[in-house]
A and B are shown apart, each in its own frame.
Chain A
Amino acid sequence: MPKVQVAKKSTSVDMTAMTDVSFLLLTFFILTAKFKPADPVMIDIPASRSMTKIEKALVISVDKEGKAFYALSDQETRLAALQNMIDRYGDRYPALKTLTDQQKKVFTFIEVFGTPLADLPRVLSMDGVQYKAYQEKLPGIPMDSTNNELGDWVMAGRYANPKMKIAVKGDKFTNIKAVERVIQVFTEKDIHRFNLITSLSAGPAEEEKAPE
């Protein structure tokens, strides 16, 4: 009887194909990943059960102290909005007209903006270290009825990109008066439909304590 010889096979598998696939995926994820921009203002958003996702938006953030900040999602829109504001306020603040292209470029890199227009030329000429220090205590955008820059910024953003959704991002413990003022600014500008940015709540409402 002839012996059945079991063929000896190597236990090692060729990994090349697997490497190819995994690196392809890796490259894809690295390229699509968008890192969360470092938020200069800490905003702890309230939770709701709303599931609607929001992508590109003009976001007005309101922090705990009731200061308002302005954020546009992409750089071209920011530049267009700035240009619009310069046209509008150039006569009142002549320094705005002298902004160089370099300074305008600096503006487009600001993720969350919170400076009164009068101060803008000075802020845009700061270097990185100075701006970091300045960012710690952003003054916020004026929105009272005598100097309603926020309303004009909102309109400037809308002109720059009319398809953009408008959203309010308030902190949990922001006093309602500040949020109501922002909403009033919107309604004055004939914006009656907007979004409130919330995080998804996990389940039964959890109790939270107000900060001191």
Chain B
Amino acid sequence: MAELDTSSGGGHGKDGKIRSKKMSTRVDLTPMVDLAFLLITFFMLTTTMNKPSAMELNMPKKEDKKEDQQEVRECQVLNILIDTLDAVWYYEGLKVADLQKTGFAGDEGIRKVIIRTMRRVDRECGQDKTGKNRPMICLIKMFPGARYKNMVDILDEMDINKVPVYAIQPYDPIEKEAVDNGGNVKTFATE
């Protein structure tokens, strides 16, 4: 490529005529290709990297029709209370009792509880009008100190474990009080 004709030094031939040097018109393109590919690689890597993903969230409509409402059995319900950073409390049923604390850490935390309760609901809660096993219902309640990260974490758990019915609800003051007391429910509060 880059052969430059250097043989004719000076340009003075035998006959004394001045000849213009013959130059090759070809240029070495290798460095240019190198550079071009370097830039291609750069742009390829930077363009595909940043697209945010998103999780979908459906909130219930305010004016629920009577026929849309589901009948909830005490047996089906798992309450998940989210306190300050990474602290999760849970209890089963509609009555605030037996609060237990857990965390988000992988398989050992709330996921284990969800899976366990799901199995129990499937076994024990009988069937609804259409003859299907009643699904588990997760009620998620977030206390004022909770962080957004944990809300996403718990919604992600719902998705991972394929919890059929879940809702974010305002918390009950009794629940807040119980968590503040370290899980102990005062007797007068339990109705």
User: Are A22 and B55 in contact, with the CB atoms below 8 A?
Assistant: no
Contact of B46 among A33, A45, A176, A186 (CB under 8 A): A33
- Which residues in B have their C-beta under 8 angstroms from that of A163? none
- Which residues in B have their C-beta under 8 angstroms from that of A175? 144-148
User: Are A54 and B53 in contact, with the CB atoms below 8 A?
Assistant: yes
- With known contacts A50-B156, A52-B53, A179–B60 Cβ distance under 8 A: no
- With known contacts A48-B156, A167-B54, A194-B57, A179–B30 Cβ distance under 8 A: no
CB neighbors of A among B46-84 (8 A): 46-47, 50-62, 82
CB neighbors of B among A18-55 (8 A): 18-19, 22-23, 25-26, 29-30, 32-34, 36, 45-55
Interface-side segment among A104-112, A114-122, A200-208: A200-208
Binding site for B on A (CB under 8 A): 12, 15-16, 18-19, 22-23, 25-26, 29-30, 32-34, 36, 45-55, 57, 62, 165, 167, 169-180, 183, 186-187, 192-200, 204-205, 207-208, 210
B131-162: contact bitstring with A at CB < 8 Å (1 yes, 0 no)? Answer: 00000000000111111111111011001100
Q: List 7 A-B contacts (CB under 8 A).
A: A15-B28, A18-B29, A32-B47, A53-B52, A62-B148, A176-B151, A205-B105
User: Are B155 and A196 in contact, with the CB atoms below 8 A?
Assistant: yes
- Which residues in A have their C-beta under 8 angstroms from that of B160? 49
User: Are B153 and A205 in contact, with the CB atoms below 8 A?
Assistant: yes
User: Are A199 and B53 in contact, with the CB atoms below 8 A?
Assistant: yes
Contact of B149 among A33, A57, A172 (CB under 8 A): A172
User: Are B39 and A172 in contact, with the CB atoms below 8 A?
Assistant: no
The 9 closest A-B pairs by CB, nearest first: A29-B43, A15-B29, A195-B54, A50-B55, A22-B36, A172-B149, A170-B148, A176-B146, A174-B148
